[in-house]
Chain A
């Protein structure tokens, strides 16, 4: 065990640090997560419509029918335009990492996005690619814009004005060159895609990424993600925040697509959404630790009782650092099996519950950090979703129990021995 620990610790830390330094992926992650409030607000505005679908008729139905357009407009311009918001936020985050942060640069990336995705149609531009199917293009637009600006700054390509020109004026001039180059590059790409590739740029990107996009929403992919999340936490590293680099862009795109499809009355197909991860697979924190916390709260060991007390309220809101570092789960041989492998059992159960239609699909993106079951209900509007969450928590409690008992026995012996030494002094 110790050899394994040393080995993994020696490798995991540098890998985590290395992933951390991959600026593009980090910027994409931060920008996409930054845009989730729009998806949450937008998809929550689908709730009146979803309740109408649930009840079917009656006075409440009629009332909701009247107010519904007020909400669907919000949903249509938030969730369905999320690529625009994400683009700005990704560009901002990347520019910050390069220390060339300014609002103009982030806004320029939105112009680039419009050039790449805003396919001209009669009397306007198509908004098809402003939502989930434009998200991957928005990442490219953001990175392209910021990288061009970075090269221009590096080689000092700016319009130089005499010192006597007021700052405001020179700043507005210095913004011209990066905007022009970024837009020119985008226009070239857009024209090349339609003329040489035969389709609009975002359509080509979606075709190119199709295998990756469909392989992420599968049980094996989820098992890998959850296994790595748990393993990282076992070594005291923040699992989700490290693994998100790989899966969050996909999970957020899936959630957006689900909400848009639901609003349009089309089939909702994706299981692995952002909400599914946090409200089902990681409910009450990574490792679904609520049961363990309750055992500690009820323990005869004074130490465990104290940890249980500190951990219980945060646990209910999905924060379980107190129990991970307090129990501790971190590097605790007793906890390795239940904490790392138990959640995989839950993942398999949840996947089949959702994929077979036992539980309704995630149609909305619920706000985070809510008591167990609440987020799952808001996400699916299916009472069976919170039931599933309770089942998962009970299963995890059962998995933790024997290991906890072993650990508690050792702890009680230590405490008794400490007391005996204290008494003999």
Chain B
């Protein structure tokens, strides 16, 4: 699975990204890719990903982002509490639900 994390500038999501990589490695999740980007750039890279997760601080941009991928990919907002401490257990659960796995 390929996950794209989007926040305002790609800064705070990069913290979550690192934690998710460590988590995937520790749990032996294969074929997992994740990267972080800012809303300004997400259109350029969105094609390469299966699912898009937003930081809660840009929840108000969700419609815009759904439109940006023409509704072709699942887009969701990470829960604030999970986002704060990068609770990967919950975030991976969310990804799996979105992908219907």
Q: Classify the secondary structure of B's interface with A.
A: helix
How far is it, in angstroms, between the C-alpha of A325 and the C-alpha of B58 when the chains are bound? Answer: 13
Please determine whether B60 and A310 come into contact, CB atoms closer than 8 angstroms: no
Residues 305-328 of A contacting B (Cβ, < 8 Å): 306-307, 310-311, 314, 319, 321-328
Judged by a CB distance under 8 angstroms, whether A48 is at the interface is no
B64, A21: Cβ atoms under 8 Å? yes
Beta-carbon contacts under 8 Å, A220-273 to B = 233, 236-238, 240-242
A-side interface mostly: helix
Q: Determine the distance from Cα of A323 to Cα of B84 in the docked complex, in whole angstroms.
A: 7
- List A contacts of B81 (CB < 8 A): 325-326, 328
- Known A-B contacts A30-B40, A307-B85, A325-B83; A237 and B59 likewise in contact (beta carbons under 8 Å): yes
* B59 proximity list for chain A (CB < 8 A): 13, 236-237
Of the four ranges (under 10, 10 to 19, 20 to 34, 35 or more), the interface on chain A belongs to 20 to 34
How many Å lie between the Cα of A96 and that of B41 in the bound state?
11
For A326, give the chain B residue with the smallest CB separation. Answer: B84
Q: Is the CB of A20 within 8 A of B12?
A: no
Say whether B80 contacts A236, CB under 8 Å. Answer: yes
Tell me the bound Cα distance from A330 to B7 in angstroms: 17
The answer to the question of A16 belonging to the interface, with a C-beta cut-off of 8 Å to chain B, is yes
Rank and list the top 5 A-B pairs by shortest CB-CB distance, nearest first. A326-B84, A325-B80, A325-B84, A238-B57, A321-B12
Knowing that A238-B55, A322-B15 are A-B contacts, what are 18 other residue pairs whose CB atoms are under 8 Å apart, sorted by A's residue number?
A17-B60, A17-B64, A34-B40, A236-B56, A238-B58, A241-B8, A241-B39, A242-B60, A306-B85, A311-B84, A321-B12, A321-B15, A325-B56, A325-B80, A325-B81, A326-B84, A328-B81, A328-B84
Residues of chain B at the chain A interface (Cβ within 8 Å): 7-9, 11-12, 15, 39-40, 43, 55-61, 63-64, 80-81, 83-86
- Residues of chain A touching chain B, judged by Cβ–Cβ distance below 8 Å, are 13, 16-17, 20-21, 30, 34, 93, 96, 233, 236-238, 240-242, 306-307, 310-311, 314, 319, 321-328, 330, 369
